[in-house]
């Protein structure tokens, strides 16, 4: 599984990020397309619950995310 970062932009200053695990970017894109014009809910990495209607989103970006383990000391 790969991890993908999805960013929902409402305007130039306001956005919400969501992280998902999928087999490929194509599958992540299919998920985002299937959620178009409906409410979605998720909890972010800080434990904050989000409920948003994708109709209100202006731009959605999807990118593969390579998480860095910050617990390992160099």
* C-beta of residue 62 within 8 angstroms of C-beta of residue 6: yes
User: Which pLDDT tens digits describe the chain residue by residue (74 residues)?
Assistant: 999 999 999 999 999 999 999 999 999 999 999 999 999 999 988 899 999 999 999 999 999 998 877 677 76
Q: What are the domain boundaries of the chain?
A: 2-64
């Amino acid at each position: 599984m790969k991890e993908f970062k999805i960013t929902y932009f409402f305007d130039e200053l306001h956005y919400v990020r969501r992280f998902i695990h999928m087999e490929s970017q194509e599958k992540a894109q299919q998920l985002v397309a299937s959620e178009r014009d409906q409410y979605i809910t998720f909890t972010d990495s800080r434990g904050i619950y989000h409920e948003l209607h994708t109709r209100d989103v202006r731009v959605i970006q999807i990118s593969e995310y390579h998480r860095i383990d910050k617990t390992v000391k160099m």
